[in-house]
Amino acid sequence: MIDYTHFKCNECGSDLDYAIGLHTLKCVSCGAVDPIEASPLDLYLAHDYKAAISDLSYFDPQTVSHELQCDNCGANFMLPANVHAEECPYCDLNVVVPVDLSRKLQPDGVMPFMIHQHQAEASFKKWLGGLWFAPSALKRKAIQARPILGAYMPLWAFDAEVNSRYSGQRGDNYRTTMRVPTTVNGKTVMKTKTVVKIRWRHVSGRVHNSFDDVIALGTNTLPIKFQRFLSEWDMGQTQNYNEKYLSGFRSELYQIGLPEGFQMAKEVMLFTIRATIRRDIGGDHQRIHHVDSDYRQVGYKLLLAPMWISAFNFKQKTYRYVINGQNGKAHGERPYSWIKITAFVLTLLALLGGGYAIFNQ
């Protein structure tokens, strides 16, 4: 058995849970509070990436499951794989296992929950009702597949100075005239028409980008396709890591290692790099053939981010969703009505066809 931390009320001995939106723990029974001293994380500080990966084991991270004995009810139980904060399944005692028992790298900061469960559920219903091209029966027949879970999920936040060399083409529009056959009163006649063409020329150059806190998922619990949505955080709310914020919630260890996380962050950075290159090329059109980037002064932070997570069933299929625990925004997998999509496309084609006919007349 391993040691762990739990937080009990000094007044009545019941559990203390983190009070959402406040820097306090609150007793679930008598309501007594235990303040948490706010300690904002210095977001300008970051660990050296190269130094960290040179010190990491090839096997980091490993899948771990901790066996605990509850101090409250005496039962033995296993934490789910790669989880370090959870409740005893027999008496709901909140437990937090020190991260250093399982991982080489420790969390730097935690973004505390600001959204309550009932707010998250309302946000989910609003999101579900606002989906375009969703089946008409979705709101009535979507069934909650599992209870909504409040959990802290690991995120990597990367900084980098990136110099990029590129080669490509610049396209500049120019106007010219040409003779084209046109139908007038049932007869084909030749008319002069002004058209826009593109003059291409080869270009190459260098651009620089500075990146700060580019987010990459550190968990396999959520699909990678949620990556973009899960990059939207108010980093200014981040506190130095404190186990008290985890009390009453699940918290995961990182399962996506530091090198893999950086590769994911580089893919995010590439969108910005390519946009910078297009601006540097200029002109009306740009083609990028090759990009060679040099990443320097790479730094990282490991953060725990608050999320409400669940899934719903619709027509024998399960769809996962997540609500941002800071701002209440919802995102997830969803079904589509191909009948609605087909009807929309046909209507659009009909409108475009009618517009084209009027233009020709």
Looking at the predicted structure, is the pLDDT value of residue 323 above 90?
A: yes
Looking at the predicted structure, is the pLDDT value of residue 16 above 70?
A: yes
Query: pLDDT-derived band of residue 309, with 50, 70 and 90 as boundaries?
Result: very high
Looking at the predicted structure, is the pLDDT value of residue 358 above 70?
A: no
More confident residue, 192 or 289: 289
How far apart CA 329 and CA 326 sit, in angstroms, is: 8
Count CA atoms closer than 13 A to 258's CA, side-chain side. 25
Round the average pLDDT of the chain to a whole number and report it.
91
Looking at the predicted structure, is the pLDDT value of residue 359 above 60?
A: no
**So what's the pLDDT on residue 132?**
85
More confident residue, 210 or 89: 210
**So what's the pLDDT on residue 357?**
58
Helices (H) then strands (E): counts for the chain: 5, 16
Looking at the predicted structure, is the pLDDT value of residue 23 above 80?
A: yes
Tokens describing residue 275: 């946009």
Where does 234-313 have alpha helices with state H? Answer: 258-281
Looking at the predicted structure, is the pLDDT value of residue 260 above 70?
A: yes
How far apart CA 331 and CA 166 sit, in angstroms, is: 35
Query: pLDDT-derived band of residue 337, with 50, 70 and 90 as boundaries?
Result: confident
Looking at the predicted structure, is the pLDDT value of residue 354 above 80?
A: no
Looking at the predicted structure, is the pLDDT value of residue 356 above 60?
A: no
Distance of CA 295 to the CA centre of its chain: 23
Looking at the predicted structure, is the pLDDT value of residue 360 above 90?
A: no
More confident residue, 157 or 6: 157
**So what's the pLDDT on residue 361?**
56
Sign of the CA dihedral running 153, 154, 159, 162:
negative
Sign of the CA dihedral running 263, 269, 273, 275:
positive
Residues with Cβ < 8 Å from 231, sequence gap 6 or more? Answer: 214, 215, 268
**So what's the pLDDT on residue 72?**
87
Terminal alpha carbon distance of the chain: 84
At 203, the amino acid letter reads V
Question: Pick from 80, 291, 262: which is nearest to 165 by CA?
Answer: 291
Model pTM? 0.88
pLDDT tens digits, one per residue of 106-142: 999 999 999 999 999 999 989 988 888 878 777 777 7
**What DSSP string runs through 167-192?**
EEEEEEEEEEEEEEEEEETTEEEEEE
Quote the radius of gyration of the chain (alpha carbons, Å). Answer: 27
Q: What is the mean pLDDT of residues 267-290?
A: 98
pLDDT tens digits, one per residue of 185-215: 888 888 888 889 999 999 999 999 999 999 9
Phi, psi values for residue 31, rounded to 5°: 85, 5
Query: pLDDT-derived band of residue 342, with 50, 70 and 90 as boundaries?
Result: confident
Looking at the predicted structure, is the pLDDT value of residue 252 above 90?
A: yes
Q: What is the mean pLDDT of residues 56-65?
A: 87
**So what's the pLDDT on residue 185?**
83
What are the angstrom distances between the C-alpha of 36 and each of 16, 21, 99? 12, 12, 20
Tokens describing residue 308: 């409400």
Phi, psi values for residue 105, rounded to 5°: -100, 135
Do the beta carbons of residue 312 and residue 127 sit within 8 Å? no
Do the beta carbons of residue 329 and residue 323 sit within 8 Å? yes
Q: What is the mean pLDDT of residues 98-109?
A: 94
Question: Pick from 222, 200, 202, 203: which is nearest to 324 by CA?
Answer: 222
